[in-house]
Amino acid sequence: MTIKENYQFAKQAYAKWGIDVEEVVEKLKKVPISIHCWQGDDIAGFEVNQYELSGGIDVTGNYPGKATTAEELRSDLEKALSLIPGKHRVNLHAIYAETDGEVVERDQLEPKHFENWVKWAKENGLGLDYNPTLFSHPKADDGLTLSHPNEEIREFWINHCIGSRKIGEYFGRELGTPALTNIWIPDGYKDSPSDRLTPRKRLKESLDKIFAVESDEKYNLDAVESKVFGIGSESYVVGSHEFYLNYAMKNDKLCLLDTGHYHPTETVSNKISSMLLFSEKIALHVSRPVRWDSDHVVILDDELREIALEIVRNDALDRVIIGLDFFDASINRVAAWTIGTRNMIKALLYAMLVPNDYLRQLQEEGNFTERLALMEEFKTYPFGAIWDYYCEKMGVPVRESWLEEVKAYETEVLSKR
């Protein structure tokens, strides 16, 4: 059977449950995923003075061909985007500024240092998101930034974050879609602290100073991101989930949930519905923790499907800002982007092809037998045929055929670096 014939067969199967597949496909086309640039160069960035990766982050592997310039990184992103259906966004860190060989400290970065990124985004119809980089820097060597006891160091990072929000606002104004500017810090202690409150008090004061500077929400959305622990901050992290959840709610900021930043027995999918009750919007960094915050490439596992289901069944596609955050240097980096992003989109498609309203009704009626039976049966419904049709319709490779393009790109481009 052809892709179209398979699609028609699958379409009829879903129609029996009142699911309009054509409507689903049109809706999926409008969902942007924010693709993180740092998978392409192992979070090295392009600062003139490059510093060793720090902040409790580690990238393992030495697969050849990583991007070493902004031009190479943009080329690699273009290749990945050509293999991913839909129109999406790119997420930048401050260390990806282009300064023409000039040493520019992070607290001095300006919109002009990202003009090439904005020009490229316009040419490719992309939105841009942004993150201040509060790691891999001498002023973060002891693992503290916005909560540092040294006021001079705190002010450096405060000014960096203020400047970052201006850069995010610049992105939003130029591209006609608001940038998400997300603050994450590595601050914490390796061993049990004797005082948990004071660093958190300093962090609160630093954030208050950052957000006291006006930023137009039409162009820039502010988010704060928690973490449970990191390498070098195993016992205590200043910016915990409880800290940022309360700060975001009190100060009308977005709370960003990273799927790798919680205890292994916690799931972000279980948090989404609670967050949506009290927040107009939330943000996600979708990763795959294996035993810890290891940032593996996203696969179509149970938790990814459950995250997508929570977004879709709660009619929150326009309320949940979806970004990715993984980095693997043991495999082809363009393939990593392609695998992870296609899987995020697949999960959303899967969720849209489930009779969520009927399953909700069964739960309300206490009919748990039929609910469980149908939830299991829909796991093997022919959603793959809809996915193949969607890819073909969007002009990207169907099934694993995209891998041949990545292999060719590796031979022609990556292997020559």
The CATH number that applies at residue 347 is: 3.20.20.150
What's residue 54's pLDDT? 86
Asked which of 332, 352, 372 is the last residue of a domain, the reply is: 352
Spell out the residues 6+ positions from residue 152 whose beta carbon is closer than 8 angstroms to its own.
Answer: none
At residue 179, the pLDDT reads 98
Whether residue 107 sits in one domain with residue 53: yes
Task: List per-block mean pLDDT (blocks of 10 residues) for the chain, which spans 417 residues.
Answer: 94 97 97 98 91 84 95 98 98 97 96 98 98 96 96 98 98 98 97 97 98 97 95 94 97 97 94 97 97 93 98 98 97 98 98 98 98 98 98 97 98 95
| Co-location of 210 and 280 in the same domain | yes
Place of tokens 């695998």: 339
Can you tell me which residue has the tokens 């879903």? 14
Q: What is the pLDDT of residue 57?
A: 84
pLDDT value at position 53?
86
Cα torsion angle, 3, 8, 9, 14, sign: positive
Domain hosting 373: range is 1-30+356-417
101 and 162, same domain (yes or no): yes
Domain limit, last residue, from 297, 317, 352? 352
The domain tally of the chain equals 2
Judgement on whether residues 262 and 409 belong to the same structural domain of the protein: no
Whether residue 208 sits in one domain with residue 124: yes
The reported pLDDT for the residue numbered 152 is 97
Residues 243 and 257 in one domain: yes
Question: Is there a single domain that holds both residue 35 and residue 21?
Answer: no
Q: Which residues are marked as active site? A: 184, 225, 227, 258, 261, 285, 293, 295, 325
On whether both 299 and 154 belong to a single domain, the answer is yes
Q: What is the pTM of this model?
A: 0.97
Q: Are residues 172 and 206 in the same domain?
A: yes
CA–CA distance, 20 with 16 (Å, rounded to integer):
10
Cα–Cα distance, 254 to 279 (Å, whole number):
8
Q: Which parts of 66-218 are beta strand (E)?
A: 89-93, 127-131, 179-183, 188-189
> What was the pLDDT predicted at 278?
96
Q: Within this chain, do residues 285 and 408 fall inside the same structural domain, yes or no? A: no
**Of 261, 264, 309, 310, nearest to 286 (Cα)?**
261
Question: Do 26 and 38 have their domain in common?
Answer: no
Same domain for 86 and 190? yes
DSSP states along 134-153:
-SSSGGGTTS-STT-S-HHH
